[in-house]
Amino acid sequence: MRLVEGLTGIEEPRPADLAGRTLDCPCGRRHQVPIEALVTDPGGVQEVGPFLARKGHRRVWLIADERTFAAGGSQAEASCREAGVVVKKTILPGEPMPHADKEALGRLAFDLEPEALPLIAVGSGTVSDLARFLAYRTGTFFVTVPTAPSMDGYTSSVAAMLVDGVRITFPAAPPRAIFADPDIYSRAPRELIAAGYAEMLGKLTALADWRLSAVLNGEYHCPLAEELVTDAARPILEDPGSPAVLMEGLLWVGLAMLMVGTSRPASGSEHHVAHYWEMRALWEGREPYGHGERVGIATVLIQHLYEELFDRHRDQLAELAARAQGSAHGTETQIRTWYGPVADGLLKEQSSWGSKAYGPRPLTAEGLEAAAQAVQPFRLSPDTALAFLARAGAPQHPYEIDVSPELVEITLQAAKEVRNRFTILHLLNELGLLEELSQVVAGNVATDRRPGEA
C-alpha cells in the first residue's frame, strides 16, 4: 500500500479511510471516491437507519431476496425503525435465485412509488445490481448491506443487467454508503465465501491483461489501482482463511475500479470466459453456476494460455510478430456460430463500440518481449492456481460446472467478443494462435475428466 499511504498520509489504511477522498495520482488523474460511508466493523448494520435519518429520509425502500433478507434484512429494517425511518420492502423469491433481468425488474416496478424512495440493497451481486439500476433511473440513491464476500462489485458504478440473455452494463451510480458487517457476511453459505476467493484469483489475470494492453496498445494504466488490487489479492492468495480479510480485499478491489471509472483493474479475459459460460447456460435453459466459481475456473485456463504464449512460445515472439495480421475480434459468421440465439444482441452491442481495432499496430518483437516481462508479476502456474482453488473450497475443473473440453475450446475463441477490452485472447487472435492454443488447453482439460468418466 506504498502509493496509497503516500497519497493519503495514512499508515496501513482501511477501505473506510478512502470514503469521500480525492487523490491526485501519479497516473495523471484525480481520483474520487464518491462513497460517503464505508462501514466495515462488526455491528455496522445498526448504522443503516441513523445514516438515512441524518440524510433527512423518513421512508425508504428495502430490496432483498428471501435468503438475503433472512441474512441481514431484518437487522437493517430494525435499525431503520429505531431511527424513525419507515421501511417498505420488496422481497424477491430466493428459489430459483433471481437474476438482474426483466423479470426481477418488472416485479420491482410494481412497487415503484411516484416519488422515488432511497433504496437499501440487502444482498450480493443480483440485488445490488437491481437496486443500483433502479436508484439511478429514478434519480435517487441507494445504500448496501452485503450479505456475502462473494464478489467485488459492491462499490460499482455500473449495473450489470441481463437483457434477453446478454449481460450488458448500464451506467449507474455507486452506493452512497456500504455497511459491510462481518457478523452478517461471515455467516454466508460456505460456497459463496469460496466464490469470493475464486473471484480474487481472477485479479491476477485481470491485471496481466491490463498491463498487456498498456504495453502493446498504449491503453491508460493506473499504478494506484494496480497496487490496491495487488495488495488486496496477495494475502488472500497466500491464506484463504478469513472472510473479513476477504471482504476487505474485495472492497479494495471495488475502490480501485471506482477510482479509475472502469472495471479494468479487476476484470479481464477470465471474466469474459465466465460471462460466455453464463450466457450459454441461460440460452440452453440451464441455471448458470455462480459468478466467482466460473471466474476461478476460467482463471486457470487463462493462466495456461499465458504460459503457452510467454513460456512455450517465448523464443518465437519475433517470428509471431512478423506473421501477425489477424484482427483482434472474430468475423460476423464466427460470432453467429459461437453465440447462436444471442448473436443478434451481441452484434448490436458490438456496433455501438465504434472500432474493433486496438492500439498502434503492427505488433513488434520488442513489444511482445516487453509485454512478456510486464505481465510476469501476475503469472501463476495453472497447477498453483488449481491448488489455491482447492484450498479455498471452490470448484477447480470445468466439468464441475458442466463445461466439457469441447466447450472450453469454443469458449476460449468466443469469449473475446463480449467486450471491447483487449486481453490475452485478443492478442492470441491477432497472432493467429488462438485456435491452436484453445485446443491445447482443452486437451489438457480433457485429461481431468470427472472420476469414473470415459
Q: Under the rule (CB under 5 A), what is the footprint of Zn ion? A: 25, 27, 199, 222, 224
Q: Three-class SS string for 401-418?
A: HCCCHHHHHHHHHHHHHC
Nearer to Zn ion by Cβ, of 222 and 414: the residue is: 222
Residue 212 grid coordinates: 498487456
Nearest distance in Å: CB 208, Zn ion: 15
Smallest gap from Cβ 101 to Zn ion, in A, equals 18
d(CA 411, CA 292): 17
Between 69 and 388, name the residue whose CB sits nearer to Zn ion: 388
User: What element of type H or E holds 190?
Assistant: helix 190-217
Which residue lies nearer to Zn ion by CB, 44 or 296? 296
Contact yes or no for 188/147 (Cβ under 8 A): yes
Closest distance to Zn ion from the beta carbon of 221 (Å): 9
**Nearest to 267, CA basis, from 393, 169, 122, 165:** 169
Report angle CA 419, 422, 427 to the nearest 5 degrees. 125
Nearer to Zn ion, 280 or 313 (CB): 280
C-beta of 225: minimal distance to Zn ion in Å?
6
Question: 237 - beta bridge partners?
Answer: none
Cα(first)–Cα(last) distance of the chain, in Å?
49
What string of DSSP letters covers 223-257? Answer: HHHHHHHHHHHHHHHH----HHHHHHHHHHHHHHH
Segments of 281-415 assigned E as strands: none
Q: Which residue has the cell 425503525?
A: 81
Q: How far is the CB of 30 from Zn ion (least distance, A)?
A: 9
Q: Which is nearer to Zn ion, 27 or 347 (CB)?
A: 27
In the bound state with Zn ion, the residue whose beta carbon lies nearer, of 199 and 349, is 199
Q: Which amino acid is at 417?
A: E
CB burial readout 153-165, b (16+ within 10 A) else e: bbbbbbbbbbeeb
CB of 25 to Zn ion, least distance (A): 3
> Smaller CB distance to Zn ion: residue 83 or 178?
178
For residues 80 and 201, which CB has a smaller minimum distance to Zn ion in the complex?
Answer: 201
Measured from the CB of residue 199, what is the shortest distance to Zn ion in angstroms? 5
Residue 231 to residue 225: CA distance in whole angstroms: 10
Of the pair 148, 224, the CB lying nearest Zn ion is at 224
| 60 phi, psi to nearest 5 deg | -135, 165
Grid cell 456475502 in the structure block, residue: 148
**Smallest separation (angstroms) from Zn ion to the CB of 356:** 24
For the bound state, the minimum distance from the C-beta of residue 98 to Zn ion, rounded and expressed in Å, comes to: 18
